[in-house]
Amino acid sequence: MLKLNIKNETARLKAVVLGTANSNGPIPKLEDAYDPKSLQHIVAGTYPKNEDMIKEMEAVAKVFKKYDVSVYRPKEIKDYNQIFSRDIGFVIENKFIKANILPDRERELDAIQYVLDDINQECIIELPEECHVEGGDVMPWNDYIFIGTYSGEDYPDYITARTNLDAVIAIQELFPDKTVKPFELRKSNTEPKENALHLDCCFQPIGKDKAILHKNGFLVEEEYEWLVNFFGKENTFEISKDEMYNMNSNVFSISEDVIISEKNFLRLNAWLRENGFTVEEVPYAEIAKQEGLLRCSTLPLIRD
């Protein structure tokens, strides 16, 4: 049996679900795009090719192997995007919470059923139907759970609004001893540089006490300021609008001092090394075209 254990984003990783690009299918039609960045690349004719994305994901699998991490991959569904395993569920403490994701994507959960079968069934939580939540919006951080959300009345108009306040309340009820801290995110269906699809598109804690942040991803300035104060200005790396667009905050921690990052994140990677991190660089620029990167394609199950 898998003994789930996730208390934060950076403790030593032991087991993870890494998505797969083996049978991603044809380029989506414009009306089927889930986010503005994919839309942009479909229009431009630069949507990523399957073989390139497979290579990128294998580079990550290799890094996990190097650090002796147990890696689970989803069972392959033909012609179906299964890259972003973070969206379909997340672990807090010893609980696996199934995400109520876009209906078109429910088959992605079926593809990791063999993993769920190996977990104590009492620890698998299905939230009520009205709770919309995706793993990219949920970050356990010791005594806190940070959650990206959007509470505007126009929530249903945004395909990019993925986590609602009902889910925030449900998670608070599941973990009464934690402080659940929601953050309102900026949403756009058409302009990727004005859209924080998930919280991890504009923020991520790293190490013991540091964070990557993008101010414009937050709708409420006070909420952004709260994070700057929480981590301390000297411990935060502020990314630009272009860096946010290229997903610089969406790196992935193997431990408090080892981070997998995209090889083109020159400014970020230099800062990480200056601050004592070991940076494992991988190519991931093709996958980034779908508005997701390293954190989005990983679902941690066990950290020390």
Q: Is the dihedral of CA 191, 222, 154, 203 positive or negative?
A: positive
Domains along the sequence of the chain with CATH: 13-303 (3.75.10.10)
pTM of the full predicted structure?
A: 0.93
- pLDDT recorded at residue 160: 66
pLDDT tens digits for 166-195?
Answer: 999 999 999 999 999 999 998 777 776 777
Contact assessment for residue 210 and residue 256, using Cβ atoms and an 8 Å cutoff? no
pLDDT tens digits for 109-164?
Answer: 999 999 999 999 999 999 999 999 999 999 999 999 999 998 878 877 777 678 99
Quick one: average pLDDT of 69-77?
96
Question: Tokens standing for 192?
Answer: 């990727």
- pLDDT recorded at residue 28: 75
Quick one: average pLDDT of 8-12?
98
- pLDDT recorded at residue 44: 84
Quick one: average pLDDT of 206-215?
98
Quick one: average pLDDT of 91-96?
98
Question: Tokens standing for 90?
Answer: 């997340």
Cα separation of 290 and 191, whole Å? Answer: 13
SS (H, E, C) the chain: CECCEECCCCCCEEEEEECECCCCCCCCCHHHCCCHHHHHHHHHCCCCCHHHHHHHHHHHHHHHHHCCCEEECCCCCCCCCECCHHHHEEEEECEEEECCCCHHHCHHHHCCHHHHCCECHHHEEECCCCCCCCHHHEEEECCEEEEEECCCCCHHHCCCCCCCHHHHHHHHHHCCCCEEEEEEECCCCCCHHHCCCCHHHCEEEECCCEEEECHHHECCHHHHHHHHHHHCHHHEEECCHHHHHCCCCCCEECCCCEEEEECCCHHHHHHHHHCCCEEEEECCCCHHHHCCCCCCCEEEEEEC
How many CB atoms are closer than 10 A to CB 232?
Answer: 11
CA atoms within 13 A on the CB side of 301: 24
- pLDDT recorded at residue 209: 98
* Bridge partners, 205 (sequence order): 211
Question: Could you tell me the pLDDT band of residue 34, with boundaries at 50, 70 and 90?
Answer: low
Quick one: average pLDDT of 222-250?
96
From residue 11, alpha-carbon distances to 64, 164, 210, 259, 281 in Å are 14, 28, 13, 11, 19
